[in-house]
Chains A and B, each alone.
Chain A
């Protein structure tokens, strides 16, 4: 899908605001040993609305902004959030995304994916320090908090990113034909469906 200029600007604006609000406000409010994280939620919402390319691009830009703003390893968050956005976008392209509670599951999955992948990447940097099991608690609380804020954040993102909706990425109904039940084996040859 090719984004219009207006849609791209809105996606950029959403990502920029999400990163700034996250690092300046939300990250400074610990709740039950964890913190909410708007960034994977916003990337997940954009991916759900715009598909895999929009998700990957939004994830890349969000990660880059985050790494630049916080002096973190440049490219690390981009790598993780690009993958998260792309995966959720592919999910939206292949599955029925009309269910009203889907944002909760998507926000939780995006947060968990981000935390686990970022943690794995940190371990790959050969850290010598002991890792507390409270990291798991932090992740769990983060996932729960993000699931709680998912519906309002998705509603807000959807409202701002209307051009994406208008361009047909998320019209509340299943897109495309259902899979055809062709003869076994023909799908692999491109004859039996997708």
Chain B
């Protein structure tokens, strides 16, 4: 039986209404401030979903681990070779660092350096479990099982045991949404160490294993393998970076030097495994008297 005109009209009207509702939601959502009605509704929904997401995430962890183990085993051999090389290099660096550290300790006795609040000082890491991920191919956000009740606030930096992961963009009493540094809207001021060349870390959208350090002056001497950390700038106008100084971001893996460009672009391999994080730490503001701990995870 073929549908009559009334049915066809009804079908089109309902489809049109759903599309129009979606467009209206999008328009209002982008137009309203973070404290607006739709954002509040979203926070309420996240709070309602969080126990279910936490339960599902925990219950099905063995399943996730089994699949991840298969992939890890396949890549383990190559990883082993790379790590052996890295251990040799790190041994040399350790010896150099220990010598430098002894020098610094002696020099600190002579120079009273007023230490600014740098990572992890001035912050109190709150460890949280990743309970949900956005399913798009953009690797843009994750959700964690800690919220305002644990001292988490919007714009606080988020790290893994390896390096910078992102920042908090939305928070409820029991959950928080983390926008990763691989999200298209992310930008982080950073420096290449030890040269100190400044730049802005931007994502290469869709590839969380490749970040770009943009706006690096051409004269800066940068080599592959060097470490990139957050620069944590602050200006006299009160415009401060959200990220504290010294949080490791990644390792330089390639440098693009084009004759035509004013700046050079540095490709960075992030330390944090953005595709596969089970736990993160949110660097919350330290309470007076609280002891700042070096994150262990």
The residues of A with any CB-CB pair to B shorter than 8 Å are 20-31, 34-35, 37, 39, 52-53, 56-57, 59-60, 63-76, 78-79, 82-83, 86, 115, 118-119, 122, 127-136, 138-139, 142, 175-177, 194
Give A47 Cβ to nearest chain B Cβ, in Å.
12
The residues of B with any CB-CB pair to A shorter than 8 Å are 1-2, 11, 14-15, 18-19, 21-30, 38, 41-42, 45-46, 49, 52-53, 56-57, 60, 63-64, 67-68, 71, 130-138, 141, 143, 169-170, 177, 184-186, 202-207, 210, 212, 275-276
- Indicate which residue in B46, B141, B184, B276 contacts A129 across the interface (CB closer than 8 Å): B184
In the complex the two chains form, what is the Cα distance from A71 to B56 in whole Å? 19
Knowing that A69-B46, A74-B38, A75-B25 touch, tell me 14 more A-B residue pairs with CB under 8 angstroms.
A23-B133, A24-B60, A25-B64, A28-B276, A29-B63, A35-B137, A56-B15, A68-B46, A69-B132, A70-B133, A82-B15, A82-B18, A82-B19, A127-B205
**Cβ contact within 8 Å between B133 and A69:** no
Point out the residues of chain A lying under 8 angstroms from B186, CB to CB.
129
In the complex the two chains form, what is the Cα distance from A21 to B25 in whole Å? 25
Query: If A82-B15, A130-B202, A135-B137 touch, does A21 touch B56 (CB 8 Å cutoff)?
Result: yes
In the complex the two chains form, what is the Cα distance from A21 to B60 in whole Å? 9
Q: Which 9 A-B residue pairs are closest in the complex by CB-CB distance?
A: A135-B206, A75-B25, A132-B207, A75-B26, A68-B45, A79-B22, A138-B137, A71-B177, A24-B56
Task: How many A-B residue pairs have C-beta atoms within 8 angstroms? Tell me.
Answer: 182
**Cβ contact within 8 Å between A24 and B137:** no
**Cβ contact within 8 Å between B131 and A30:** no
Give A84 Cβ to nearest chain B Cβ, in Å.
12
Can you identify 10 A-B contacts, CB atoms within 8 angstroms? A21-B56, A52-B11, A60-B21, A68-B46, A70-B134, A75-B22, A75-B24, A78-B22, A130-B202, A132-B207
**Residue of A whose beta carbon sits closest to that of B53:** A24
**Residue of B whose beta carbon sits closest to that of A141:** B137
